[in-house]
A = this chain, B = another copy of it.
Amino acid sequence: MTLRSPWGGDKNAALLTDHYELTMLQAYVRQGFVREAVFSLFVRRLPKNRNFLVACGLEDVLHYLESLRFDQDALEHLAGRDEFSAEFVEWLESFRFTGDVYALPEGTPFFPQEPVLEIVAPLPEAQFVETFVMNQIHLQTVLCTKAARVVRAATGRAVVDFGLRRMHGTEAGLKGARAFYIAGVAATSNVLAGRVYGIPVTGTMGHSYIQAHEEELTAFREFTRLYPTTILPVDTYDTLEGVRNVIRLADELGDEFKVSAIRLDSGDLKELAFASRAMLDEAGLERVQIFASGGLDEYEIVPLVEADAPIIGFGVGTAMGVSADAPALDIAYKLVSYDGRGRAKLSPDKEAIPGRKQVFRVEVDGSAIRDVVGRAEEFGAGRSLLRKVMERGVRTRHGRVDLATARQTARDEISRLRERLHSLETVDPPYSVWFSEQLDTERSSVVSWLKRR
């Protein structure tokens, strides 16, 4: 089908940027400001209720950097705007990304002030990619972080992504399904996410199917004829009457009855789960499980799990899909070095730390106790987290990571965080992030140079 691409044709994707990236680009080129720059992408502070973030989105960033170019249509559009010269537009035609990228592997928990990625490239290239790189890492990190909380709250029960219909666009829905899977979500309802990423796809049945029939029992009978092991939603009219209809169907079908679960989607889920379980058990349907959905998030799931409600899994939609309690991060992409000299910004609350850096995670008995941000060339006290994922515009081995590996990384790395960081509220003190002595020295020297000028 020819559905309009969200950016009006892929060929225009290089225009998916802030206007000032292009005006700065032209200025840099005119002035010959094309020496090596280092930009650092980091989060300034944790949002509400978060004690750590989970890095995600690198795959799309690397794909963008590999394929970035201005096609004819984009060039013509820019040529038609007064602020761009013909020479500049011609120069753009051969514009490519030729730099190096260092990044945290997808699935790695990280903390404020730590680089999620650093880009080393000629200034015009490193500057221009800002908007797209920020957009992708931001979206996917917000969603992966949120999902990690939901998965943790569910403590072993399956979490299924039902978010697509209320996420911020179809791109968020698709890339979100991938971010959720990295965070440990078991499956998604998003059919295309299955096609594109190979994520397990699942689903139940909508209430409208039941409503379209005169009788709920008839709808159950018809649907299970086609999908014997389906999950049946029981709350269209009256939940417990819905459960009775499932039992009636089991009586009718005998050995042919293979329905795997019922779905509770409204009302008091805890109470209804216990009541439904009792009714199903009473009817000898111990193997029919209970699945819950309807406005769920980590805060709603915790009491259900604590009460040991007989629920096998949770369908989680909107609250996870938009990361409702913390939909954005204070993420920044800042110049930290140009032509071999550290750079910084001194705006209040908006400082950036100069130079290319490394993040060292210090662990004791397999448990992370602190991170140290140091200069890239240091030998740190802990495990180095940033890896070179792209060299001269081409992915390195570390830049080619499959989804299963990212999911495993998230599982392993998150399990090394101390229990208190898994609180659903902000803990005090936060996880410790130190700066190495060498980095502190570099920072002071850059700041005093800037102030001296």
Contact = CB atoms under 8 A, between A and B. Distances in A.
Interface residues of A, number: 123
A397 interface: no
Copies of this chain? 2
A166 interface: yes
Given A77-B195, A207-B345, A347-B236, A16 B170 contact: yes
A135 B173 contact: yes
Interface stretch (A151-159, A330-338, A431-439): A330-338
A127 interface: yes
B335 A328 contact: no
A361 interface: no
Interface string A28-42: 101101000101000
A63 B1 CA distance: 11
Contacts of A132: 170
The 3 closest A-B pairs by CB, nearest first: A6-B171, A19-B203, A168-B168
Given A6-B175, A7-B174, A77-B195, 11 more contacts: A15-B191, A17-B164, A24-B206, A26-B226, A123-B212, A127-B206, A130-B165, A208-B334, A211-B338, A236-B346, A319-B328
Interface of A: 1-8, 10-24, 26-28, 30-31, 33, 37, 39, 60, 63-64, 67-71, 74, 77, 83, 123, 127, 130-132, 134-136, 138-139, 142, 162, 164-175, 189-192, 194-196, 201-209, 211-212, 214-215, 222-223, 226-227, 230, 235-238, 265-267, 318-319, 321-324, 327-331, 333-335, 338, 343-350, 450, 453
